[in-house]
Structure 1
Amino acid sequence: MLNFYFNNANYLWINNEFVEWKTANVHLMTHSLHYASSVFEGIRTYNGKAFKLEEHIDRLFDSAQQLMIPVKYSKSDIIIACKALIEKNNLTNAYIRPLIWKGAESSRLISSLLSTNVMLAGWEIPKRIQQPMNLCFSNWINIPPQTIPIQCKSGGRYTTMIISKTESENQGFDDAILLDWRGYISEATTSNIFFVAHDKIITPIADACLNGITRQTVFAIAKKLGIIAEEQYIKPECLIDYQACFLVSTSIEIREVNVINFTALKNHNLQVEKIYDLDNSVTSVIKNYYNKLVNGEEDI
């Protein structure tokens, strides 16, 4: 049954064929359901054109390589398929989800019998007013890069994120910030975090968080606009001194943060919460430029 959330999602592209959404399925013994042996991407389209499509597909293949999942298609094959899916489903402002996963030929952890499957889904995103976000700190730390490839966008990477997001929403917040194993700010559950310190922007060094494509885009925008952008190791105590904060990702684009709550950081002598400036000029100019960029009105 078609979920109301997936607007215009009439067809999926699966292993070089278009399949009707309502008939698409996988076997219950699919390896990736049991062992999280999958990699994926999230791509936005604006006015029918996918933004940063090549960069997303590059990362998809890099992720598959890091998980040692062989892919029989080329990058250009998947790029062409993405464009065909957009046309097939008549998508304009939409979300595209590429997924690579292992099949159901074996229940063993590792097996040469396992097939590799590739899927592309796409659906229209209704326009909504983006409200500023209220954040808390997670009780969990982000997965250290010594445990899994930190730049690999794999299903297993998001277990900690799911727990953290669920706990934050149960407490009445929109999302959670995770610290890394050293106690530095890492990222939110599905987005990178930036802070405004006077006239410059600061974000965590990407050795313990995903170096997101939107994160990279913000750096390029800052350079274009002459705004200083720095990567730093950021302690929670530093957040008190910053004037503004925003999250960035493909799905939420650039979203202002209203409040960060520090209650979960019991070993830090911090106030209960920090309220940030929602009308910060640095945040506004970057966000406005990003909105023009994705709609083809500006370049970097």
Structure 2
Amino acid sequence: MSVIYLNGQYVPAEEAKVSVFDHCFLYGDGVFEGIRAYNGRVFRLEEHIDRLYDSAKAIWLPISLSKEEMMEIVAETCRRNNLRDAYIRLVVGRGVGDLGLDPRKCHGNTSVVCIAASISLYPEEFYEKGLKVITAATRRNYGEVLAPQVKSCNYLPNIMAKIEAVNAGVLEAICMSREGYVAECTGDNIFLVKNGVVKTPHSAVGILLGVTRNAVIDVARNAGYVVEETFLNRWDIYTADEIFLTGTAAEVIPVVEVDLRSVGDGKPGPVTKRIRDVFSKLVRSEGYEIYRDARPHEKRGPVKDFVGCHEENEA
């Protein structure tokens, strides 16, 4: 039975409940992070927490917990579940209000949830053989409405594009900006390789600046590749030598076909393989240590106990 952090307590999963009047449930009014732990370390936890707090600030969502407290909640949730390798979902919602939109009705009620479990976004065989994908008719959210850097709990456009992928019999879809530039996939950032140069969409086209994306850019540059953040269209992805996707859940996964067109020779390419190998070693060698003062099998305290203050600021 898994243990969930919910508003200051660690509770069994079946007791982790939120109100039907929570604005995160009613309107998708909240922010979240997907985080990975490997070998007893949480990868790039500080970067994830910084993005969470920036997203919350951008939508006027106060968080009373400090970043240090939030980081320890992530680690403790893993400890409570005896996990060394995990996918962690950290959610901050607006909290309980009424059926209206006014966020002021929710102030003082912000909810914080942390879940640690396992995840397999794509079957293992696709990491070796590569994915087939399509380009979606559903466009990326316009930046004039909601900054793409906000990792919002409202993922309906992503789900609509995922439905297109499902209907096409593939696992992923590439979304374009309204100007027709390649943006990102439903849950991943995208890279391509052309003539030895690694390219990825520029942030100006409206993408989420992924933590894994940033780590892969560093990995590629340290491996000696030129990396360009630039503007790409369908021509670029149709004629790419290699394509791969990156994400916290997906890690690094090759793409071998787009819209029935083979990528390169239809097999994962050497640049993708090298970057994936280096990234795999990186995530298992650095990060926020979960078991600094305790071993996974050591008995923890009661499931329900208070951790940190959870009263929201009134202003």
127-136 or 112-121: which moved more?
127-136
Aligned residue identity for 1:185: V
Cα distance between partner residues in 2 of 1:189 and 1:75: 28
> Is contact 1:260–1:273 with CA below 8 Å preserved after alignment?
yes
**Alignment identity in percent?**
30
| Cα distance per residue 1:231-282 (max 9 Å; x no partner) | 1111211223211100000001000001000xxxxxxxxxx52333434221
- Structure 2 match to 1:24: 16
Deviations along 1:56-104, one digit per CA (max 9) or x if unpaired, are 0111111111111011101101001111111111012110000000222
Asked if the contact 2:193–2:241 (Cα under 8 Å) also holds between the matched residues in 1, the reply is yes
| 1:23 Cα deviation after fit | 1.1
Aligned partner of 2:195 in structure 1 is 198
Would the aligned equivalents of 1:138 and 1:168 in 2 still touch at CA under 8 Å?
yes
SS in 2 for 1:119: strand
1:297 CA displacement: 7.7
Aligned pairs (5 A) from 1:52-63? 52-63=44-55
- Cα shift readout 1:179-214 (whole Å, capped 9, x = no counterpart): 101111111001010001121100110121111111
Instruction: Name 1:67's counterpart in structure 2.
Output: 59
CA RMSD in angstroms comes to 1.7
Match in the other structure for 2:151: 153
Mapped pair 1:78 → 2:66: no
Q: Distance in 2 between matches of 1:253 and 1:196?
A: 17
Q: Name 1:285's counterpart in structure 2.
A: 274
Tell me the amino acid that sits aligned with residue 288 of structure 1: D
Structure with more contact order per residue of length (Cα contacts < 8 Å, sep ≥ 6): 2
Q: 1:39 to 1:202 in 2, by over 3 A?
A: same
Correspondence list, 1:44-55, <5 A: 44-55=36-47
For the pair 1:129 / 2:121, whether they are aligned, the reply is no
Q: How far apart, in 2, do the equivalents of 1:124 and 1:57 lie?
A: 20
Q: Who is 2:264 aligned against?
A: 276
CA distance in 1, matches of 2:152, 2:274: 33
- Contiguous gaps of at least 5 residues in structure 2: 288-315
- What TM-score does the superposition give when structure 2 sets the normalisation length? 0.85
Gapped runs of 5+ residues in structure 1?
Answer: 1-8, 262-271
Q: TM-score, normalised by structure 1?
A: 0.89
Aligned residues: 279
Q: Paired residue for 1:3?
A: none
SS in 1 for 2:61: coil
Question: Which of residues 159, 163, 168 is equivalent to 2:160?
Answer: 163
Confirm or deny: 8 A CA contact 2:119 2:249 kept in the other structure.
no
